[in-house]
A and B are shown apart, each in its own frame.
Chain A
Amino acid sequence: MSFHTVENLDAAPLDRDAMAKLVAQDIPANSFVNLGIGQPTKVSDFLSSDSGVILHTENGMLGMGPQAVGDAIDLDLINAGKIPVTELPGTSYFHHADSFAMMRGGHLDVCVMGAFQVSAKGDLANWSTGGDDAIPAVGGAMDLAVGAKDVYTMMTLFAKDGSSKLVPECTYPLTGLGCVSRIYTDVATFILENGAVYVRETFSVSLEELRSRVPVELLTYP
């Protein structure tokens, strides 16, 4: 895929739905995809029915359908976020070791995860803030980080204190090394290639402003 860097100065920052829609548009047709808990789950709302995308949920299902409502709720049929979901034609079930073998074995094309920080080298931190009072809980994040062929992350670009979450080196505990290939944020999207960070598109901010607030060298496509 070839890109051109686009500055959308007049655009509003992306809300969660708009980010999810953008991610959904970028997922290649007919790929096997795992959507992480939380914000990435929304991506499925924007996958068109003819995309051929097959969703994997790590608790043991391929071909996951939409969230279950009403009488369709079955407590034996949940996703990794423990939300009741539905089957689609062609669904399959498998145990946990098979589910993660599928992941670790490189069979998933894309996974989408939230992030606390991403480094310029594609290191991901998304499982612990490292605080003294934090109870460590990692779930499948580390397995997804090393297993999926492409790791897309979704986050706001700036923390509440204004600091950039795209950083030279992660300060939070790492989930995986050099695994992230794309970063979707509210004000810009980035492509990580060969150790470099390219701005693909901005929303509401200029490249100049991004460069002044993000402490990482930001390259552009012609």
Chain B
Amino acid sequence: MLNIAQSADEAVSVITEGSTVLIGGFGTAGQPIELIDALRRHGAGNLTVVNNNAGNGDVGLAALLGAGLVTRIICSFPRQVDSYIFDELYRSGKIELEVVPQGTLAERIRAGGAGIAGFYTRTSAGTPLAVGKESRVFEGKEYVLELPIRGDFALVKAHRSDGMGNLVYRKTARNFGPIMAAAANASIVQVSEIVETGALDPEIIVTPCIYVDTVVQIDADATHGKARA
């Protein structure tokens, strides 16, 4: 049964100290900034965060890191022109970093939601990122064993939800949303609009409601987004 929260703060209030939190978004596209801000106010610490990046500027994920609530981050591309909060934490040894190739990160999350115990990929074979990992040769090529990633919680931004939690996304803001929603014990989704159940064409639903626990409507016009209907 879908929980429809009245505010971002209410939606994230279940997140506990020490949790692994999958956070959607690629850069700021699809980043659930209001949920992340609410998590920062909520204050649960010692978090492990999984995101493609490690925050931009001093808002959203960067602010969560800046508040000292994250002790470990798993991502593919932490270093960016405006990742100065992460850079400082990393260089001063205040955050642990696991760098994962982007496609491997996505597939590990997908595997986490799909009950796959591990998979072999050619990505990273023979490189420093494969050191210490089991590898195996298939048809003459080396593959590296990668293990799934699951989250205690996922924070995801989608475009619309219906009353059951079926989701559609908007353009490239979809990115990690569908796989993260599936790979978390509890997924918390912010949407620009909640529509009546039945109002979304079943053929275009991207994330079926079975993967969604909580939704909260955050009016896109009132926030950072330029999302148009």
Binding site for B on A (CB under 8 A): 57-61, 73-79, 82, 87, 93-97, 99-101, 103-104, 128, 133, 135-143, 145-147, 173-177
Give min CB distance, B102 to chain A, whole Å: 4
B179 touches A59 (CB 8 A): no
Q: Identify B172's interface contact among A76, A103, A139, CB under 8 A.
A: A76
Find out whether the CB atom of A76 lies under 8 angstroms from the CB atom of B128: no
State the 4 A-B residue pairs at the shortest beta-carbon distance, nearest first: A100-B103, A143-B103, A96-B106, A137-B79
Choose one: A57, A99, A135, A138; the contact of B106 (CB below 8 Å): A99
Cα–Cα, bound, A75→B28 (Å): 8
Q: Are B104 and A143 in contact (CB under 8 A)?
A: yes
User: Does chain A have a CB within 8 A of B118?
Assistant: no
Shortest beta-carbon distance, B148 to chain A, in Å? 12
Q: Is the CB of B170 within 8 A of A76?
A: yes
CA distance A169 to B85 in the complex (A): 36
Contact flags B65-92 to A (C-beta < 8 A → 1, else 0): 0000000000011111000000100110
B126-A177 in contact (CB<8A): yes
Contacting residues, chain B, for A101 (C-beta < 8 A): 103, 107
Determine the distance from Cα of A143 to Cα of B129 in the docked complex, in whole angstroms: 12
Contact A97/B106 with A75-B226, A76-B173, A146-B122 known, Cβ cut-off 8 Å: yes
Which residue of A77, A82, A96, A142 is within 8 Å of B124 (Cβ)?
A142
- Within the complex, what minimum Cβ distance (angstroms) separates A77 from chain B? 4
Chain B window 146-181, contacts with chain A (Cβ cutoff 8 Å), 1 for yes, 0 for no: 000000000000000000000001111111111100
**Once the chains are docked, how many angstroms separate the CA of A93 from the CA of B124?**
26
Contact-residue bracket for chain B:
35 or more
B65 to chain A minimum Cβ distance, whole angstroms, is 13
Binding site for A on B (CB under 8 A): 26-30, 52, 76-80, 87, 90-91, 97, 99-107, 109-110, 121-129, 169-179, 206, 224-228
Given contacts A76-B171, A137-B76, A137-B77, contact A142 B101 (CB under 8 A): yes
A73, B22: Cα distance in complex, Å: 28
State which of B29, B30, B77, B228 has its C-beta within 8 Å of the C-beta of A139: B77
Residue pair A97, B109 in contact (C-beta under 8 Å): yes
- Extra A-B contacts (10), CB below 8 Å, given A100-B102, A128-B128: A78-B29, A96-B52, A96-B102, A100-B104, A100-B106, A104-B121, A136-B78, A137-B80, A143-B104, A177-B126
Q: In the bound complex, what is the Cα–Cα distance between A137 and B119 (angstroms)?
A: 22
User: 16 interchain pairs (CB within 8 A)?
Assistant: A57-B172, A59-B29, A75-B227, A82-B26, A87-B171, A94-B174, A95-B106, A95-B177, A96-B179, A137-B78, A137-B80, A138-B99, A138-B102, A142-B104, A173-B127, A176-B127
Question: Do B102 and A140 touch across chains, with their CB atoms under 8 A apart?
Answer: yes
CB distance from B10 to the nearest CB of A (A): 25
CB distance from A38 to the nearest CB of B (A): 12
